[in-house]
Amino acid sequence: MVKLHPLKSPNRLKLGVFSANADGGLAITDVPERWQAGWQDNLTAAQIADRAGLEFVLPIARWKGFGGKNKVREWSFETFTWAAALGAATEQIGLFMTVHVPLVHPLYAAKALATVDHISQGRAGLNIVCGWNPKEFGMFGVPLVEKGYDQAAEWLDIVERLYASDQPFDHDGTYYTMKDAVSSPASLQTPRPVTMNAAFGGPGRDFAAAQCDYLFTTFSEIADAGRHVVDIGERAQKAGRDVGVYTVAHVVCRETMEEARAYYDRYAVTQADRAAVDAHMAGKKEFSQSHDSHAYDRYRQRFAGGAGTYPLIGTPESIAAEMVAIADQGYQGIALSFVNYTQELPYFCDRVLPLLKAAGYRG
Ligand SMILES: Cc1cc2nc3c(=O)[nH]c(=O)nc-3n(C[C@H](O)[C@H](O)[C@H](O)COP(=O)(O)O)c2cc1C
């Protein structure tokens, strides 16, 4: 029997694991325990998260690395096949696939996504990205599209139509021309698997508001993070819809604040892979708007620590308190990265999850 997707659970704050499919996770560091993203480690991390009752694993979609000493992110697992394998090896966790609209045809995506939804008995999730890195797009011979979200709108319409129709149909759109199109089976979830759009800027928010279930986005400071939720809420309201907001953070959770801060400084300052941090920040600054503009000047450590995401650095108590504050700003979920997922997830799950439960944010 197909159960309710984990993202629809009553937990007020959903939690998941982000970017374990890619070298370094979200970190850009040269510490020896850095995440190498081998398959066995991916499997172990997903199974730890599954057993602990986290709601989702969410991969990054990366095709090329950022150079530096370790060619960080160059090694990454493709996300449909990764999710399919994890679907067969886990019991209850949601399995996202992160898909570049301009690089993957919607008919292929519909079929692959439905395959994972069947393997996992309704636990598949789609994370749509329009992409930002011209070096990655160059490998496909595809230019970065200016109006990516127009294409995303047509792309997602096609996926939904493929699932909804039992008859072949022709499609003659701006970006796609299709003749006698079918894709069977449809996903088990209807009208399609849960869908988020990873974006920060206005057009991405409008696309999420009009067509997705969730926006996956960043913020710089917790006190100020609620404005993004309000903004997407207003956009969704105009579209007559309800859209949840998820965010992302990197975690160092230790017994004492001193230990956590010392480790954060070690991996994300002293032993940061500096050349790769420079390349990553320069590329993101030039080609993407996935962060507040001042983030690049203020937060170099955050880019080494977790690709510019929010740092949750501290004790189980301080991290649980910050997570509660993030939820209170209106966020429904947080995707988490660690320097080494298999080494750090057990402590995090053992120590932080009970505090969130006691606070009433998770069951
Ligand atoms: C939380 C988050 C996660 C993202 N994940 C990816 C990813 O996995 N691969 C990718 O190429 N781009 C990713 N992006 C970048 C988006 O695809 C997009 O190019 C970028 O956010 C700039 O466009 P925007 O102004 O619409 O946000 C992500 C963006 C955000 C905010």
CB of residue 218 inside a 6 A radius of ligand 1: yes
61 CB within 6 A, ligand 1: yes
- Residue with CA closest to ligand 1 atom 2: 198
* CA nearest neighbour of 300 among 312, 286, 313, 282: 282
pLDDT over 90 at 240, yes or no: yes
Q: What's the pTM value of the predicted model, to 2 decimals?
A: 0.96
Tell me the pLDDT band of 242, cut-offs 50, 70 and 90: very high
Q: What is the pLDDT of residues 26-82, one digit of tens each?
A: 999 999 999 999 999 999 999 999 999 999 999 999 999 999 999 999 999 999 999
For residue 285, the model assigns a pLDDT of: 77
pLDDT (mean) for 243-259: 98
* pLDDT tens digits, 185-227: 999 999 999 999 999 999 999 999 999 999 999 999 999 999 9
**Per-residue model confidence (pLDDT) at position 120:** 98
Ligand 1 atom 9, closest CA = 61
The best mutation among 214, 288, 303, 331 to test binding of ligand 1, ranked by most ligand atoms within 8 Å of the C-beta, falls on 288
Distance CA 302, CA 308 (A): 5
Residue 295 has pLDDT above 80, yes or no: no
Residue 198 Cβ < 6 Å to ligand 1: yes
In Å, what is the CA distance from 9 to each residue of 93, 103, 271, 333, 357?
11, 32, 39, 11, 14
Q: Is 130 in the pocket of ligand 1 (CB under 6 A)?
A: yes
**All domains of the chain in start order, with CATH:** 6-358 (3.20.20.30)
Whether the Cβ atoms of residue 34 and residue 24 lie closer than 8 Å to each other? yes
Closest residue by Cα to residue 199 from 176, 175, 216: 216
Q: Is the CB of 202 under 6 A from ligand 1?
A: no
Q: Cα(first)–Cα(last) distance of the chain, in Å? A: 23
What integer pLDDT is reported at residue 118 of this predicted model? 98
pLDDT at 334 > cutoff 70: yes
- Is the distance from CB of 304 to CB of 28 less than 8 angstroms? yes
In short, whether 216's Cβ falls inside 6 Å of ligand 1 is yes
Which residue has a Cα nearest atom 10 of ligand 1?
Answer: 131
How far is ligand 1, taken at its centre, from the CA of residue 137, in Å?
14
Read off the amino acid at residue 269. Answer: V
Over residues 143-172, the pLDDT tens digits come to: 987 789 999 999 999 999 999 999 999 999
Q: How far is CA 110 from the centre of its chain?
A: 19
pLDDT of 37: 98
Query: 147 CA distance to ligand 1 centroid (A)?
Result: 14
The pLDDT score that the predictor gives to residue 195 is 98
Instruction: Give the residue, out of 104, 290, 331, 332, with the most ligand 1 atoms within 8 A of its beta carbon, to mutate for a pocket test.
Output: 290
Residue (of 223, 276, 331, 338) closest to 62 by Cα position: 276
State the pLDDT at residue 293.
64
Task: Give the per-residue pLDDT at 289.
Answer: 67
Predicted confidence (pLDDT) per residue in 265-287, tens digit: 999 999 999 999 989 888 887 77
| 187: amino acid identity, one letter | S
Residue 298 scores a pLDDT above 90: no
Token digits for 330? Answer: 């209106």
Mutate which of 18, 82, 98, 132 for ligand 1? The one with the most ligand atoms within 8 Å of its CB, which is: 132
pLDDT of residue 297: 62
Alpha carbons within 13 A on the beta-carbon side of 237: 6
3-state secondary structure the chain: CCCCCHHHCCCCCEEEEECCCECCCCCCECCCCCCCCCHHHHHHHHHHHHHHCCCEEECCCCCCCCCCCCCCCCCECCHHHHHHHHHHHCCCCEEEEEEEHHHCCHHHHHHHHHHHHHHCCCCEEEEEECCCCHHHHHHHCCCCCCCHHHHHHHHHHHHHHHHHCCCCEEEECCCCEEEEECCCCCCCCCCCCEEEEECCCHHHHHHHHHHCCEEECCCCCHHHCHHHHHHHHHHHHHCCCCCEEEEEEEEEECCCHHHHHHHHHHHHHHCECHHHHHHHHHHHHHHCCCCCCCHHHHCHHHHHHHCCCEEEEECHHHHHHHHHHHHHCCCCEEEEECCCHHHHHHHHHHHHHHHHHHCCCCC
pLDDT digits (tens, 9 = 90+) for 95-141: 999 999 999 999 999 999 999 999 999 999 999 999 999 999 999 99
Ligand 1 atom closest to the Cα of residue 100 is: 11
